[in-house]
Amino acid sequence: AQSVTQLDSQVPVFEEAPVELRCNYSSSVSVYLFWYVQYPNQGLQLLLKYLSGSTLVKSINGFEAEFNKSQTSFHLRKPSVHISDTAEYFCAVRRFSGGYNKLIFGAGTRLAVHP
């Protein structure tokens, strides 16, 4: 069965510093991976996804994640963060069971960007 582990519950960082949010998954089959972001008091928004092809995927706001099959990881990175990036970030893997799909989420990582 697939599962997702986000190794850090909180990541404090100063503005303009680089950041990495770690995500590891366990799966014995082909993997679809996602990062969702939840800004304060809002719903989840898809940040980026890996379905197939290039292992490096990018979002429009400067985040990127790399699918690493050998390390079963899908870490999220940004070279220079902004105050507005403060949010909860969730890594998720698609689980296919009984003919249908569902997303399995990690516990989330709170990114707190300080001035």
Partner 1 sequence: DTAVSQTPKYLVTQMGNDKSIKCEQNLGHDTMYWYKQDSKKFLKIMFSYNNKELIINETVPNRFSPKSPDKAHLNLHINSLELGDSAVYFCASSQGKAQGVGNTEAFFGQGTRLTVV
Contacts of 19 (CB under 8 A, 6+ apart): 11, 13, 77, 78, 81, 85, 111
CB count, 10 Å around CB of 92? 23
Site string for partner 1, 26-65 (x = CB under 8 A): ------x-x-x-x---xxxxx--x-x--------------
- Min CB(80)–partner 1 separation in Å: 25
Our CB check for partner 1 shows the closer of 78 and 94 to be 94
Give me the residues that bind partner 1 (CB under 8 A), please. Answer: 32, 34, 36, 38, 42-46, 49, 51, 88, 90, 94, 96, 98-105, 107-108, 110
